[in-house]
Amino acid sequence: METIVKINIAKMKEDIKAKVELQKFYKNQRRTVKLVGERKMPASEATYKHQTNREDLRILYAAYGVARGKTFQEIEKRYDLHNEHPLQKYQKSIDRILEGYRYLVEVPVLEEK
């Protein structure tokens, strides 16, 4: 038996969707009471959480792209840099996220005769 390291893409997509819904909630909480209705948290706290969640989402999207085999240039196309991409400063965070979604699969080895 041989083990292969795989990344749980489906779980990563679910986590991205959950963070996106949370991001929408924070964005609405930053607005005035007339637009939102009942406020669940102060606007200043919602602004701070929105900003930190945006950063987390960016790193999670980058990890998703790397897991699918894309380069940083393909993930964020708005940057036309050839040597230094802004996502490179998040490389440790991306690697840590990918490590969290890894799992091992055992595959039988076919022997040649």
pLDDT in tens, 42-86: 888 989 999 999 999 999 999 999 999 998 888 888 776 666 788
C-beta separation of 90 from 54 below 8 A? no
Of the candidates 71, 52, 53, 49, the residue with the CA atom closest to the CA atom of residue 62:
71
Rounded to whole angstroms, the Cα distance separating 80 from 101 reads 30
The whole-model pTM stands at 0.80
Please state the separation of Cα 33 from the chain's center in Å.
30
Task: Indicate whether 11 pLDDT > 90.
Answer: yes
pLDDT in tens, 18-48: 999 999 989 888 877 666 677 788 888 989 9
Query: Beta partners for 104?
Result: 5
What is the pLDDT, as a whole number, of residue 62? 94
C-beta separation of 19 from 56 below 8 A? yes
Structure tokens, 64 = 């998703």
What is the pLDDT, as a whole number, of residue 53? 96
